[in-house]
Structure 1
Amino acid sequence: MADAAETETPEDDDIPAGHALGGGEGGDDLSDEWNSMVGEEEGEGAAAGTPERILNQDEIDSLLGFSMADEEGADKSGIRAIINSALVSYERLPMLEIVFDRLVRLMTTSLRNFTSDNVEVSLDNISSMRFGDYLNSIPLPAILSVFRAKQLDNYGLLTVDSNLIYSIVDVLLGGRRGTSAMRIEGRPYTTIERTLVQRMIEVVLQDAKAAFEPLTEVDFALERIETNPRFAAIARPANAAILVKLRVDMEDRGGRVELLLPYATLEPIRKMLLQQFMGEKFGRDNIWEGHLATELWSTRMEVSAVLDEIRMPLGKVMNMQIGDTIYLDASPDSPVEIKCGSVPLTEGRMGRLGHSVAVRLNSPLSTRAKQKLMRSV
């Protein structure tokens, strides 16, 4: 009978929430579990004696987004994800990914020709980050090259890590295959090492120019080589930039190349980079363009036929009286200058058409005059 009573007890709704079932420690555990179930069903109306659930350390780390095991991981959650999304929140540039995929293919071919070795280039990651954070994250020693995008009128940064530097030097100077490149830490790079890496950087910049060529013409010119990140500041620390990490593998040797382009550098071609595919049009209405062109062709413009111009002192002009004569150095065969405001357009000859004085044009509008008119409009 006692067992039957204990079996039917959990179904009885008249038992108090804090009553221990079955006695002993097992009864206390069963009572606590029952109280928690009642609290979940009743919400805020649960009994006051229901114990609150305490989060463990793993749940707290997951909520806040902080994890000591994966501090540098790309996947972040919780509050940290919200904070990071507020720090750098910029629009995605689909065409830029296509450009860098093209850069990877071009670099694979050009570096194979440059090193005469089997080279594989892969794209690791494309991300957005603050410029100051990137400078602080560069592992030293490294070589930083500052280059200028001429058509975009701004700068970029190309970083070559230590592993790739020693690998390139070893390959170009005839190092044995199958052996890792020798690294000598604690000393600056020699002139030979800097010169060889500079040649590789020039090859990469030429490939970057070819990668951007289907989109727009951009010439990347190497400005200087630095080994200290403080001397490679091309933007303010708070400015956002696009970081592209490329992996270069030469059999058992290799390293990483990082290309940093500030958003200010990409701003002139931002609309092109927003395209989903090459040649996409943005914000253009063919009907409106045709209507605007029609109205421009039918626009009336006032022009002046200038027979001659002379200069005289202002005092003489102020003292002119009725009946005074101004002599011009123009004859009936002198050319007449046609102007629109202060912009000279072309020249013509004076004549008569019916009962009106007319001017016949001798030449079409000059290109320079057209440009001035467009700027004035």
Structure 2
Amino acid sequence: MDDDLAAEWEAAMTEQVGSAAEDGGSWASKLETQIAKTEEKRKNADRVLNQDEVDSFLGFNPAELGLSDQSGIRAIINSALVSYERLPMLEIVFDRLVRLLTASLRNFTSDNVEVSLDIIKSVRFGDYLNSIPLPAILSVFKAKQWDGFGMIAVDSPLAYSIVDVLLGGRRSTAKLKVEGRPYTSIETSLVQRMIEVVLEDAELAFRPVSPVSFSFDRLETNPKFAAITRPANAAILVRLRVDMEERGGSIEILLPYATIEPIRDVLLQGFMGEKFGRDATWEGHLATEIWSAKTEVKAVLYDKKLPLRRILDLDVGDTLMLDLKPDALVEIRCGDEPLTQGRIGRSGEHVAIQVAKPLRRSRTTLAAFEAAGQVRKETA
């Protein structure tokens, strides 16, 4: 009996932890190893996520802004941003700005300058300010007709390149060293002249869409002093790449959505002259057809609601008392809509209604119908 019980225990332990003869170990040592593995798995299950795993879960990447390739909770937060693709005319405007700016900067620097459109995207203003690499030159400008502000950011490589070109520096293939010192008054003055050139070309680029005047407001080197809208507000960010042979940098133009809101309807167009909602030709045709349409008009002497039980009890010879005086006005209706009131009478062998009050005016304008009526009279 004891031998059978020992054999049963041995078979169970062999199935759980393996044979005692394997690797020269005992059941006790293998059991301790199994317990250690189970404890390690439990600790791994309770392990706290590191920063990279947290950033991956939230979809946060400090190197990128906007809506490109984001996932997780941050993608849900940024879903409130309006994509610039809903404003197709805006991309056409900045393509025109690239062509204008290429010619203007060539004349400004007397050098071979190539301007290219790097990216257009939607960002949050606060996130953009925190991502600006320092030192940088920030220019705040005002759009007078739109009653709003915008911002132009010139990075350090481009600022030093412009200073080097305008002051007659040598054309060197070596990359310019970006220093951490503040900009001098001469450097800021030269960069300001370039920014004024950019603003002039931006006016020309927007002129076919909406005439606007961009006026230089101030120059800042600290992003905190260049705040033009609330940090959570959405804005359009346009990055232009400026290459002058082996040197150059980037210009970033930021326009809050509140600034371009007055011309939003124009920017929604896919091409110049596109019309949304209102078409004068179709409007006139519709008004002409409505003007010549026939409609049925009814004169209602008396209107009163009665219980269904009383109506079912009516029989031949019953009399309905109308609460109406002989000189009372009758209501003229078109369908269920009341038009005016009139007085009932007789004209020859016919019963007639004399209009006693002016027609009830519609809530919509009648200018289109009056214009269509004038055209109909002239063609008659």
Change (3 A) 1:177 1:213: same
Q: TM-score, normalised by structure 1?
A: 0.58
Per-residue deviation at 1:215? 1.1
Q: TM-score, normalised by structure 2?
A: 0.58
Structure 1 residue identity aligned to 2:63? E
Structure 1 residue identity aligned to 2:176? A
Give 1:11-26 correspondences, 5 Å limit. Answer: none
Q: Is the 8 A contact 1:149 1:219 kept in 2?
A: yes
Per-residue CA deviation, residues 67-109 of structure 1 (Å, 9 max, x unaligned), is: 7xx65244223443233224x2456210000101111111111
* Among candidates 63, 69, 75, match of residue 72 of structure 1: 63
In structure 1, list runs of 5 or more residues that go unmatched.
1-19, 25-53, 295-377
In structure 2, the residue matched to 1:359 is none
In structure 1, the residue matched to 2:175 is 180
Q: Is the 8 A contact 1:160 1:257 kept in 2?
A: yes
In structure 1, the residue matched to 2:239 is 245
Q: Is the 8 A contact 1:62 1:77 kept in 2?
A: no
* Among candidates 141, 164, 167, match of residue 170 of structure 1: 164
In structure 2, the residue matched to 1:290 is 284
2:241 & 2:282 partners in 1: Cα distance?
A: 48
Q: Is the 8 A contact 1:127 1:244 kept in 2?
A: yes
Structure 1 residue identity aligned to 2:130? N
Aligned length: 249
1:173 & 1:109 partners in 2: Cα distance?
A: 20
Per-residue deviation at 1:61? 7.3
Per-residue deviation at 1:134? 1.3
1:194 & 1:166 partners in 2: Cα distance?
A: 10
Structure 1 residue identity aligned to 2:175? S
1:229 & 1:163 partners in 2: Cα distance?
A: 18
1:126 matched to 2:120? The reply is yes
1:109 matched to 2:103? The reply is yes
Q: Is the 8 A contact 1:63 1:79 kept in 2?
A: no
Q: Is the 8 A contact 1:142 1:162 kept in 2?
A: yes
Per-residue deviation at 1:185? 2.1
Change (3 A) 1:293 1:160: farther
Per-residue deviation at 1:174? 0.6
Give 1:287-326 correspondences, 5 Å limit. Answer: 289-290=283-284
* Among candidates 247, 256, 259, match of residue 262 of structure 1: 256
Q: Is the 8 A contact 2:59 2:75 kept in 1?
A: no
Per-residue CA deviation, residues 202-243 of structure 1 (Å, 9 max, x unaligned), is: 000011011111111111111111111121111111211101
Q: Secondary structure at the match of 2:176?
A: coil
Structure 2 residue identity aligned to 1:64? F
Q: Is the 8 A contact 1:62 1:78 kept in 2?
A: no
* Among candidates 218, 233, 248, match of residue 212 of structure 2: 218
* Among candidates 61, 81, 89, match of residue 95 of structure 1: 89
2:157 & 2:55 partners in 1: Cα distance?
A: 35
Q: Secondary structure at the match of 1:160?
A: strand
Q: Secondary structure at the match of 1:266?
A: helix
2:200 & 2:170 partners in 1: Cα distance?
A: 29
Structure 2 residue identity aligned to 1:181? L
* Two-structure CA RMSD over aligned residues (Å): 3.3
Per-residue deviation at 1:289? 3.9
In structure 2, list runs of 5 or more residues that go unmatched.
1-14, 20-44, 289-380
Seq. identity, %: 68
In structure 1, the residue matched to 2:3 is none
1:97 & 1:119 partners in 2: Cα distance?
A: 22
